[in-house]
């Protein structure tokens, strides 16, 4: 009996020790069950405190909670057990609604605030930038699932999105050209069409919803650009796909969803540009395809800043419709709008964003307030012009396979805006601090390599007071 007790004690001790022995020590690991980066070792260089302030005790506690052995299995078992016994969704990403619906987990209701005013100002500034260059612009607002299916939210959920109407009023006051896909999707839901899955992919529309939402976008674009092609269902092969788990989760479900397969003949240019086009390190989605059939029909070369609604589903409908489709993940990157515009020089520009991403997490408030896009040089046509030699400034060019980045230094301190002219085409330079001498300012532009002509370069600038133009050539 004594030996048995000893054996039992050893086994019990080993069971307690096993999760520690199997600790997940890999750095920068993303959990498959709740799709988040696990806390790194607080003693390693990769550790980043959540609030920016180092607290060793808090760091160790968070590390052990995240890295303990069998963590995903324990979360999965606990989640499935609660679902089976109590029909409760105990999960960090999802929550149950009524009638078997599943939604993304919700935080506090959002209130309209100064952030949304700054966001609307940014959209207006981007629109004005395009308008001055004779390029149509459209802002597209995507409603979240909970906004359309509020009646299916669980008991006790007090959902309120009144801020949306106030935000759209701010867009109206600024004369922003925009659409909201709420009415289109609501009409389809009322007609019995499932534009959102009941359970799978709780944070986005499905392919059917994407088809209707993107078509609404295309119909609006067609009013400005008649060559835009509006999709029809018979242009796609529509099949049903069975989903057995929720995305980025092992939570079991059994639900079919419609999948639209696009058969358009595309020329994929993504790899040619991917390595050279800069993007935010956290939001790197990029796609560049050409549809020769649509180009012949006169459909535009379109630059689209888009979020996950489009990255995951909507892209295929843009590919089938547009002559050229250049897609960039909008989070943080759209604040760098002129960088992308000057590379691709589109016929049409679109900025698409979902309701739940209009926040400082995805669009930095400070960067938006600092945005100052170049006007066109023609707007200063009445000012006196002073011509100087190119030798008075310095110009460096870093060439890649497809793009070239030109840096101009040595301009006077009182400069407001700067433009580069190459072979008669005008490009807008961005102001940035000189990395070698942070006290000095330099100006930078990235453009297609074949548009950079050394024998025809001019640098034009206007002073901050907007009283004089200086041209270096």
Compute the radius of gyration of the chain from its Cα atoms: 27
Structure confidence by residue, pLDDT tens digits, 40-64 = 666 666 656 665 565 566 655 565 5
pLDDT at 91: 76
pLDDT at 249: 77
- Which of 330, 353, 339 minimizes the C-alpha distance to 278? 339
Structure confidence by residue, pLDDT tens digits, 166-185 = 999 999 999 999 999 999 99
How large is the average pLDDT for residues 27-44? 58
Q: Which CATH architecture best describes the domain 382-472?
A: Sandwich (2.60)
What is the rounded distance in angstroms from the CA atom of residue 367 to the CA atom of residue 202?
Answer: 30
Tokens of residue 112, six digits: 């309209």
Tokens of residue 82, six digits: 């609660």
Which residue would you say has higher pLDDT here, 261 or 252? 261
Residue in the block written with tokens 């020089």 = 345
Domain ranges of the chain: 2-100, 109-370, 382-472
Q: Please classify residue 334 by burial: count the beta carbons closer than 10 Å to its beta carbon, then call 0-12 exposed, 13-18 middle and 19+ buried.
A: buried
First-to-last alpha carbon distance for the chain, in angstroms, is 98
What is the rounded distance in angstroms from the CA atom of residue 234 to the CA atom of residue 143?
Answer: 26
The answer to whether 313 and 295 have CB atoms below 8 angstroms apart is no
- Output the pTM of the full model: 0.86
How large is the average pLDDT for residues 285-314? 98
The answer to whether 205 and 195 have CB atoms below 8 angstroms apart is yes
């Amino acid at each position: 009996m004594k030996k048995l007790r000893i054996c039992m004690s050893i086994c019990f001790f080993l069971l307690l020790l096993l999760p520690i022995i199997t600790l997940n020590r890999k750095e920068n690991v993303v959990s498959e069950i709740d799709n988040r980066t696990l806390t790194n070792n607080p003693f390693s260089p990769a550790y980043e405190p959540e609030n920016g302030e180092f607290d060793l005790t808090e760091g160790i506690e968070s590390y052990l909670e995240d890295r303990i052995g069998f963590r995903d299995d324990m979360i999965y078992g606990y989640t499935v057990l609660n679902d089976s016994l109590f029909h409760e969704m105990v999960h960090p990403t999802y929550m149950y609604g009524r009638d078997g619906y599943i939604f993304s987990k919700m935080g506090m209701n959002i209130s309209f605030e100064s952030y949304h005013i700054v966001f609307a100002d940014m959209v207006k500034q981007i629109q004005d930038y395009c308008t001055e260059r004779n390029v149509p612009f459209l802002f597209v607002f995507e409603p979240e699932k909970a906004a359309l299916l509020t009646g299916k939210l669980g008991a006790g959920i007090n959902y309120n999105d009144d801020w949306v109407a106030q935000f759209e009023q701010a867009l109206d006051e600024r004369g922003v050209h925009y659409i909201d896909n709420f009415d289109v999707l609501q009409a389809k839901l009322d007609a019995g069409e499932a534009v959102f899955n009941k359970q799978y992919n709780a944070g986005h529309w499905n392919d059917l919803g994407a088809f209707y939402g993107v078509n609404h976008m295309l119909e609006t674009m067609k009013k400005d650009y008649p060559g835009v092609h509006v999709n029809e269902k018979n242009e796609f092969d529509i099949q049903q796909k069975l989903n057995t788990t929720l995305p980025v989760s092992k939570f079991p479900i059994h639900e079919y969803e419609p999948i639209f397969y696009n058969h358009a003949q595309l020329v994929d240019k993504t790899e040619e540009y991917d390595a050279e086009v800069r993007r935010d390190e956290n939001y790197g989605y990029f796609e560049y395809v050409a549809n020769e059939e649509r180009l012949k029909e006169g459909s535009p070369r379109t630059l689209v800043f888009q979020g996950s609604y489009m990255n995951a589903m909507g892209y295929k409908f843009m590919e089938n419709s547009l002559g050229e489709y250049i897609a960039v993940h909008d989070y943080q990157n759209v604040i760098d709008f002129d960088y992308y515009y000057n590379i691709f020089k589109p016929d049409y520009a679109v900025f698409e964003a979902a309701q739940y991403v209009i926040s400082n997490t995805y669009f930095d408030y400070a960067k938006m307030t600092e945005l100052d896009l170049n006007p066109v040089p023609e707007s200063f046509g009445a000012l006196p012009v002073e011509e100087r030699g190119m030798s008075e400034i310095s110009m460096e060019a870093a060439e890649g396979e497809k793009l070239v980045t030109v840096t101009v230094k040595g301009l006077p301190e009182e400069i407001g805006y700067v433009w580069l002219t190459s072979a008669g085409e005008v490009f807008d330079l961005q102001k940035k601090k000189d990395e070698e001498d942070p006290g000095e300012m330099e100006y930078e532009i990235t453009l297609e390599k074949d548009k950079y002509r050394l024998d025809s370069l001019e640098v034009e600038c206007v002073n901050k007071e907007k009283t004089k133009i200086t041209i270096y050539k």
